Homo-oligomer: A and B are copies of this chain.
Amino acid sequence: MAEDAVADIQAAELDKARAGDVRALARLISLVEDESPQVRIVIKDLLPDTGRARIIGLTGSPGVGKSTVTGALLSAFRAAGHRIAVLAVDPSSPFTGGALLGDRIRMQEHATDGHVFIRSMASRGHLGGLAASTPQAIRVLDAAGFDLILIETVGVGQAEVAIASLADSVLVLLAPGMGDAIQAAKAGILEVADLFVVNKADKPDSQQVVRDLRNMIAMASREPGAWKPPIVTTVAVKGEGIDELTSRLDEHWSWLNSSGELKSRRQARAREELAALAFAGLRGRLAASRLDELASRVAEGTLDPFTAADELLSQ
C-alpha cells in the first residue's frame, strides 16, 4: 500500500503545495480529511518545511459570530502582512452535506488574494477523528508557508476543547443572549481560553457577560507568571474592537515565546497526537471478528467490558 501511495503522490504535486498552490493544497487536505494512507507519505515529505506557523484557535457556541470575527481577523492580519490560512473544522454531517458552507461565502472576498487560503474540514464523525486529522492539515498549511493558521470550530463541547488544544492561542467567543457565560463554563471551554471575545457588544446584555467572565477569571487559580486571559469586546460586523483583538493576540504570542510555554504546549500537543495515532493503529490491528464477538458478550451482559478489553489487548 505504501509503495502505491508513493507512486500516486508525485513530487511535483508536493512542490506545488509547498509553493502555496491552492488546488494542490485543496487536494492534499482532502486526502487528510479522507484519512487516506497517502497522508503519511505527504507529511513525511513536508515535515522539514513545518514548525514555522503560529496557530490560533477560535471557538464558541453557534450564533456568537465566529465566521464574522474570523473574517475580520483575516482582514486585519492580512493588512499586517501575514499569509493566513483558515481551517473551519466541522463535525461531519452527511445529513446535510456541503450545503452548510454558505456562510463561508462571505469570506471568499479574500479568495482572490493569493496570501489567503480558506477551507472547511469535516471528520467522519467518530470520536478522535478530528483530533487525529487536524494536526496533519495544519502541517500541510504550515509547509505551504502560511505563517498564521486560524482554526475555527463550531459548537462547544469536549471535542472543541480537544481541537482548541491544538492551537498556540485559544480564543473563546461569547455573545449576549446566546446562553450566558455560565453556560459556556458548563461546556468546559473557559479553562482552555487564552483570550475571551465578547462579540455583539452593542447589545444591551453584553456588559453582564463581561462582568460574569471577569468574575470567573478572578475565581480561577493561576500559577505565578501564568497568563491571565484578557476580555476583548467587539462588534465584528462593524470591525469594532478588532485592532485591540489582534494586539492582545500578538501579546499572547510574545508571552508564549518568552515564557517557554510555546515549547511545552507543542510538546503536549505532539503527545496527544501520538496517542491518538497509536489508538487508530491499534484499532486497525484488532481483528474485527474478535471485537464483534467480545462486544456481543458485553452487550448480552455475560462478560464485563474490562475483561473483554484485556482479552482484546492480549492478542
Contacts and interface: CB of A to CB of B under 8 A. Distances in A.
A284 to B, nearest CB: 10
A310 interface: yes
Interface stretch (A9-17, A76-84, A94-102): A94-102
Residue in A123, A282, A296, A309 whose Cβ sees the most chain B Cβ within 10 Å: A309
Interface string A191-229: 100000000000000000000000010011000000000
A17 B298 CA distance: 21
Interface residues of A, number: 90
A187 interface: yes
A293 to B, nearest CB: 10
A19 interface: no
Contacts of A294: 274
A231 to B, nearest CB: 15
Given A91-B161, A187-B154, A190-B93, A273 B298 contact: yes
Nearest to A158: B159
A185 B295 CA distance: 31
Contact of A51 (B94, B128, B283, B300): B300
Contact of A282 (B266, B279, B307): B279
Contacts of A91: 157-158, 161, 187-188
B155 A156 contact: yes
Contacts of A129: 158
A251 B44 CA distance: 53
Contacts of A300: 51
Contacts of A50: 301
Interface in A124-162: 125, 127-131, 135-136, 154-162
Interface stretch (A107-115, A176-184, A236-244): A176-184
Contact of A183 (B62, B125, B135, B185): B62
A277 B309 contact: yes
A199 B188 CA distance: 24
Given A95-B190, A158-B91, A47 B179 contact: no
Given A286-B278, A292-B271, A298-B274, A100 B185 contact: yes
A149 B304 CA distance: 20
B279 A279 contact: yes
A187 B159 CA distance: 11
A275 interface: yes
B127 A127 contact: yes
Given A43-B304, A267-B292, A267-B296, 19 more contacts: A40-B306, A62-B178, A62-B183, A91-B158, A93-B186, A95-B219, A125-B191, A127-B162, A155-B188, A158-B159, A178-B179, A267-B295, A268-B295, A273-B298, A274-B294, A274-B298, A274-B312, A278-B312, A281-B310
11 contacts: A91-B158, A92-B188, A93-B190, A123-B158, A127-B131, A155-B156, A159-B159, A177-B177, A267-B295, A270-B305, A273-B295
